[in-house]
Amino acid sequence: MNVQIILFIVLASVAAITSVAMITRKNPVICAVFLVLNFFSLAGLYLLLNAQFIAVVQVIVYAGAIMVLFLFVLMLLNTETEHKLFADKRAIKFFAILISAFVFVQVAYLIFHGSPSRTLTPDEAASVKAGTIQAIGEQLYTNYIIPFEVAGFLLLAATIGAMVLAKKKFE
Amino acid sequence: MSLIPMEYYLILSAFMFCVGVAGVLIRRNAIVVFMCIELMLNSANLTLVTFSSYLGNSIGQVFVFFVMTVAAAEAAVGLAIIIAIFRNKKTVNIDEINIFKW
């Protein structure tokens, strides 16, 4: 067995198991920790896909900044665990699992039926080149300069909005 | 990379998306619902990176960059809204936050 295949199996199973564990654990802090693990395994998968820049940004932005924000709010609000909420919602649970399983079966059927890898011939060199920060930066600062500026403006608006919303009184 | 068929990544992504959907429907804690939405955004990112890598084209990864920007903004504003709601209602249970529901 090749080391790539072993790495893929390990990382993919970690991602799948932690995502399921995240929605089944009752304590929200444990959910957040499982989500961080999931983000790390996704970063590993991005590295397997030769997307080095996205892998690093995944660890810094998602596993670092966003999850710290989540854990901060979780511990600030000191929420009660959901023991009583989990017990009496059997119908909702049943239908939620039914709906998502149905969607998954449909999408999986379409993926294997369409089988995109038959029409695509992956080119390792082009893929490595596409994942470098140079290629992404070239796109960002030439063809995608206006979306890039809009993203910066969006972050500014979100910063101001978050401060205004979390403030105590408006006056 | 070329040893692993592209479908495996897409199936993993679809699985994670469906787990996120189930989590949004099952969980009653607003913060955990937010985390499930992050999980769904991440599964979409995995699909974009997979296609970008197998096509040898970096535009998909540029799009992932924008998705991450929007996710960060969404997390900041969403958590601020949850803090504001908690200050008024003393709960983050989405069954009790129902003034817009009829």
| Domain match, A103 and A164 both | no
Q: Per-residue confidence at A167, pLDDT binned at 50, 70, 90?
A: confident
Q: Determine contact: B96 vs chain A, CB below 8 A.
A: no
Domain hosting A110: range is: 89-122
| Domain match, A28 and A99 both | no
List, for residues A69-110, the tens digit of each pLDDT value: 999 888 888 666 555 555 556 788 888 899 999 999 999 998
What CATH number is given to the structural domain containing B62?
1.10.287.3510
Give the minimum alpha-carbon distance from B46 to chain A in angstroms, rounded to a whole number.
8
For B92, the closest of A31, A77, A139 (CB atoms) is A77
Q: What is the pLDDT of residue A53?
A: 93
Q: Which amino acid is at A136?
A: I
List, for residues A111-163, the tens digit of each pLDDT value: 888 777 777 777 888 888 888 999 999 999 999 999 999 999 999 999 999 99
Note whether residue A1 is domain-resident.
yes
For A22, the closest of B23, B46, B58 (CB atoms) is B23
Note whether residue B99 is domain-resident.
no
What CATH number is given to the structural domain containing A32?
1.20.120.1200
Q: What is d(CA B17, CA A100) in angstroms, rounded to the nearest whole number?
A: 9
- Answer yes or no: are the C-beta atoms of A132 and A53 closer than 8 Å: yes
Residue B95 φ/ψ region, left for φ over 0, alpha for ψ in the -120 to 50 degree band, beta for the rest: alpha
Residues of chain B with pLDDT under 50: none
Q: Which amino acid is at B63?
A: F
Note whether residue B11 is domain-resident.
yes
Note whether residue B101 is domain-resident.
no
Query: Which one of A64, A87, A110 terminates a domain?
Result: A87
Query: Which one of A66, A87, A108 terminates a domain?
Result: A87
Q: What is d(CA A102, CA A61) in angstroms, rounded to the nearest whole number?
A: 32
Q: What is the pLDDT of residue A165?
A: 87
| Domain match, A104 and A169 both | no
| Domain match, A59 and A93 both | no
At B29, give phi and psi (nearest 5°): -90, 125
Note whether residue B97 is domain-resident.
no
Note whether residue A127 is domain-resident.
no
Q: What is d(CA B18, CA A104) in angstroms, rounded to the nearest whole number?
A: 6
Query: Could you tell me the two tokens for A117?
Result: 């890898």
Q: Determine contact: A96 vs chain B, CB below 8 A.
A: yes
| Domain match, A138 and A75 both | no
User: pTM for this structure?
Assistant: 0.91
Q: Which ipTM score applies to this complex?
A: 0.91
